[in-house]
């Protein structure tokens, strides 16, 4: 793959428990590119994202991400692949019994960070990047939905990923808060991290332009709003 290309899929079939979800998927994702994947709930958007981090195996077609062939990836390589991807979930998945800072420290330690000063510094950096520098001591239940999602994005940024996957990141948020989250993701993209975001909110896509593909009837295709 050329140096700018992060993902190349050609004629990929995506299955869940014997059911074909998407057929003949062709997709390219480049550095600094913002891609929306739109479509109704159940159209295959999340399943597609799950193939990128080897949660769902690819068994047909050609599927490359970074320097990995997803048809041949070994189990021991999957943690290394996932370290290069930041994932933002709709339902936050924060550890509710720990403060924001402890949530972030947990991820860094789990991914091999040992130096306490480096950990502290990195947490400070990502909280600043998402506009939450004063919230490190808060518990998740003390945060609004939008604040939780900013912390989830901070968590996704900890290991300086090349790619962020945001799965319906505004799904649980009011329109104004959702817009701010999409603006933040675009800012992150402008700073050099590619973003793939799934959504069924077309107004967000119109307001914050990017490349658009649509999942519908078992196919993924380019889409112009």
Q: What is the pLDDT of residues 116-126, one digit of tens each?
A: 999 999 999 99
Residue 207's alpha-carbon distances to 17, 27, 39, 53, 81, in angstroms, are 37, 23, 17, 29, 32
Residue 1: pLDDT band (50, 70, 90) is: low
Q: Are strands 60-65 and 5-16 parallel, antiparallel or unpaired?
A: antiparallel
- pLDDT tens digit string along 3-42? 789 999 999 999 988 889 999 999 999 999 999 999 998 8
- Model pLDDT, residue 89: 82
Distance CA 106, CA 63 (A): 31
| Beta-bridge partner residues of 194 | 163
- pLDDT tens digit string along 48-76? 999 999 999 998 999 999 999 999 999 99
- Residue 21 tokens, joined: 């979800």
Which H or E element spans position 36?
Answer: strand 34-38
pTM equals 0.94
């Amino acid at each position: 793959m050329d140096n700018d290309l992060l993902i190349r899929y050609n004629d990929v079939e995506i299955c869940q428990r014997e059911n074909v979800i998407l057929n003949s998927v062709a997709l390219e994702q480049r550095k600094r590119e913002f891609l929306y994947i739109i479509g109704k709930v159940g159209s295959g958007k999340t399943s597609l994202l799950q193939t990128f981090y080897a949660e769902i195996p690819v068994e047909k077609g050609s599927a490359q991400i970074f320097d990995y062939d997803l048809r041949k990836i070994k189990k021991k390589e999957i943690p290394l692949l996932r370290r290069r991807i930041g994932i933002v979930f709709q339902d936050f998945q924060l550890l509710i019994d720990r403060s924001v800072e402890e949530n972030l420290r947990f991820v860094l330690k789990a991914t091999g960070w040992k130096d306490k000063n480096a950990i502290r510094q990195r947490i400070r950096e990502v909280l600043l990047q998402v506009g939450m520098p004063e919230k490190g001591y808060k518990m998740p239940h003390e945060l609004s939905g939008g604040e939780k999602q900013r912390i989830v994005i901070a968590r996704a940024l900890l290991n300086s990923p090349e790619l962020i996957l945001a799965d319906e990141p505004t799904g649980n948020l009011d329109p104004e808060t959702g817009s701010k989250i999409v603006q933040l993701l675009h800012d992150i993209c402008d700073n050099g991290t590619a973003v793939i975001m799934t959504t069924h909110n077309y107004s967000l896509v119109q307001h914050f332009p990017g490349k658009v593909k649509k999942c519908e009837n078992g196919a993924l295709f380019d889409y112009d709003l």
